[in-house]
Amino acid sequence: MKRVISYLNRFFFEEVSATGFGLMRAAWAFTVLFYMLGSATDVVRYYSEGGILPQDLGYLVFRSEYRFTLLQYITDPTAVVALWSVFMVCLVCMMIGMWPRLMTIICVLLLFSFHERNLQPLGGGDTVLRIIGFILMIAPEVSAFSLARLEHQWNHWKKTGKYLAPLKTHIWPYRILLWQILIIYVTSAWDKLQGVMWMGGTVVEAGFHHTHFVRWSKDIMDGWVWFSPYACFYTLMFEFGWLLMLVPRETWHVLPLWIRRHSIKRWLIAGSLGFHWGIFAFMDVGSFPLAMSTAFLGLLLDQDWAAYKKTLNKRWKGRIIILYDGACGLCRRSIFMLQLMDVLNRIKPVDFRDGILRSKHAPDLSESDLDRAMHIKTPQGKFYKGFDAFRKLSWHMPSLKLLTPLLYLPGVAPVGRMIYAKIAVSRNKCAHGACKI
C-alpha cells in the first residue's frame, strides 16, 4: 500500500520546472490579445445588445447549459466596450506578469464571457484557448517569467548576491494538459477515419481550393496539390502517434535506438508544430496554430529544457568573461539582467575592481581602460568593449536574438557607440561615485 501511495504522490505531486507554464501564460495572453484586437471594430456588433445577436434571439445560438458569461448581465454597448477595454489591459498585465495570478483569473473569466456571448465567430483555436486558460487558472504556479518574479529575484539578489532557486510546481496541471492534447489529436484522427477523403488522400487538395481559407492564388495552390496524399498520411500518423504518450517508458527498449534515445514527446511536439505551421503557411485557419503552439510550451519539463541547452551548446566550449564595475549600481543591475537572460549558461561576470581576478582574466588591460566601458573576453581570447561587446553578447542570449540583426544595420553601430559612451560617462554621477541600487 505504501508503494501505491508513494506512486500516486509522485504521479500527481512530483515537483517539476514551472518554466513551461510561465511561458504558456505569457503566450496565451499574447495570442488572445492578438486575436481579440482583430475584432476591436466589431465589439458592439458581436457582443452587445445593439449588435446582430440581441438577448431575445440568443436561444438560437447560446448553449442551453453550462454557460457562463458576464455579458448576460452587461448588455449596454458602451458598457460592453468598457469591459472589452478592461480585458485588453488585463491581457497585457497577464502577458508581462503583473499580478500574474489575479490577471490570469480575470482574463480567463473574461475570455469565457466574450466567447459565450457569441459562438458564431469562434473556431477550434478558440476552444483550445479556453481549455488552456482554465488549466492556467487552476494551476498552482504561473508566475515564472513575470514582473512579479523579477521583483522577487532582484530583492533577493540585492541582499544575498545570489538568485532564487528555480521555480517549481506540481506536475498534475501538466498531466491534465497532456491528456487534453491527447484527446484533441486522437479524436480528430478517429473522426478523419470515418470518411473517405482522408484515407483517399484528397482532403488537403480540396482544402487548398477552398476560397474561404486559402492564402494564395489558385495557380500557386494548384502547384502543391501533389503533396495532398503525403500530407494526409502524415497527419493521420502524427495524430495517432500521440497515443505513444500512454506507453510506459520502461517498454521503450523495443523501439529503434534512433527514436528511443530521444524523447518521444519532443518528436511529437516537433511533428505537431510542423503540421500546424505548415497549414498556416497555406491557409488561414484562425488562432489554431498559435493556440496549439501555446499548449506545447506547458508540456516542457526540466529534462526538455536541459536537452534544449545541450543541443544549442553542443559546439560551444568555454564561457564569455564579462568584466564589469562592481562599484557601479547601473553595472550591477545590467549584470543581474544579463545573467537572468543567460539561459544557455555562456557568460561569467568578473568584477574588474578585484585586482586578482583582473590579473587572471585581463592582465593586459588597465583598470582605467576597463572603467571607461564594459569589456568581454570570448573563449578564443578576443576582447570587445562597449556597444560592440553588447552586440556580441546578443548572439548568445535567445531572448535578444530578434534584436541582433538590427544591431548590424548600417548606421546603428556609430549611434550605439555614441549612446553607450554617453551612458558610461554619466553612470557614476551619483553620491559617493556610485549609483544606489
Local confidence band at 75 (pLDDT 50, 70, 90 cut-offs): confident
Q: Is 323 exposed, middle or buried (0-12, 13-18, 19+ CB in 10 A)?
A: buried
Give pLDDT, residue 437.
43
Share of the chain above pLDDT 90, in %: 34
Model confidence pLDDT, tens digit, residues 259-303: 666 788 888 999 999 999 988 988 888 889 999 999 999 999 988
Q: Return the C-alpha cell found at 144.
A: 515564472
Give pLDDT, residue 62.
80
124-128, 131-135, 340-344: least confident range: 340-344
- The CA distance from 278 to 280, in Å, is 5
Nearest to 84 by CA among 136, 33, 137: 33
Give pLDDT, residue 81.
94
Give pLDDT, residue 80.
92
Whose cell is 548600417? That residue is 410
Give pLDDT, residue 259.
67
Q: Is residue 187 pLDDT above 90, yes or no?
A: yes
Whose cell is 515564472? That residue is 144
Local confidence band at 308 (pLDDT 50, 70, 90 cut-offs): confident
Give pLDDT, residue 48.
87
Give pLDDT, residue 434.
46
Q: Which amino acid is at 156?
A: H
Model confidence pLDDT, tens digit, residues 278-288: 889 888 888 89
Model confidence pLDDT, tens digit, residues 241-251: 999 888 877 67
Give pLDDT, residue 298.
95
Q: Is residue 310 pLDDT above 70, yes or no?
A: yes
Cα–Cα–Cα angle for 152, 158, 161, nearest 5°? 105
- Please state, in angstroms and as integers, the Cα–Cα distance from residue 341 to each residue in 93, 240, 398, following that order: 21, 37, 8
Q: Is residue 431 pLDDT above 70, yes or no?
A: no
Residue 319 CB coordination number (10 Å): 15
Whose cell is 440581441? That residue is 54
- Please state, in angstroms and as integers, the Cα–Cα distance from residue 188 to each residue in 192, 242, 351, following that order: 6, 11, 57
CA torsion sign, 388 to 393 to 397 to 398?
positive
Model confidence pLDDT, tens digit, residues 133-152: 999 999 999 999 999 999 99
Most confident of 105-109, 120-124, 398-402: 105-109
- The CA distance from 138 to 134, in Å, is 7
Q: Is residue 255 pLDDT above 80, yes or no?
A: no
Local confidence band at 171 (pLDDT 50, 70, 90 cut-offs): very high
